[in-house]
Structures are given as C-alpha cells and as structure tokens.
C-alpha cells in the first residue's frame, strides 16, 4: 500500500492519475478476475459470515 501511495505522490496532473488508474485496472481486473477470482472470493466471504453466526 505504501508503494501505491508513493507512486501517486509523483503524479503531477489529473491525466497522469487517470493513466495510472487505467493501468492498475487493466492489470487487476482481467477476465480471470471476473470469472474466477471474484466469484471465489465472494463464495469464501459469504461462507465465513455464516460460520461466524453459529457460535
């Protein structure tokens, strides 16, 4: 997280910020993210919530 903040400090304009945001989005939100990673994370987090209320 600190590295992300450091990269943002170097940006001087809104256009640079938007370009950095688009680059991060392109790397993170791939087709695999939507079809595999996100559904798995949602299923795991939903399961954790249910277990917590059993006790």
- pLDDT given for residue 48 in this prediction: 60
- The tokens describing 10, both together, are 């170097």
Query: Using DSSP, how many helices (H) and how many strands (E) does the chain show?
Result: 4, 0
- pLDDT given for residue 5 in this prediction: 85
- On the question of pLDDT at 3 being above 80, the answer is yes
pLDDT digits (tens, 9 = 90+) for 11-51: 999 999 999 999 989 998 898 998 998 888 888 876 665 55
d(CA 14, CA 38) in angstroms, rounded, equals 29
Domain tally for the chain?
1
- Domain containing 25 equals 2-52
Task: Look at the pTM and tell me if it is higher than 0.75.
Answer: no
Please work out, in degrees rounded to the nearest 5, the angle formed at the alpha carbon of residue 15 by the alpha carbons of 14 and 20: 95
């Amino acid at each position: 997280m600190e590295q992300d903040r450091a990269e943002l400090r170097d940006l001087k304009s809104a256009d640079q910020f938007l370009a950095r945001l688009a680059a991060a989005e392109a790397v993170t939100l791939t087709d695999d993210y939507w079809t595999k990673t996100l559904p798995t994370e949602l299923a795991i987090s939903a399961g954790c919530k249910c277990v917590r209320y059993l006790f």
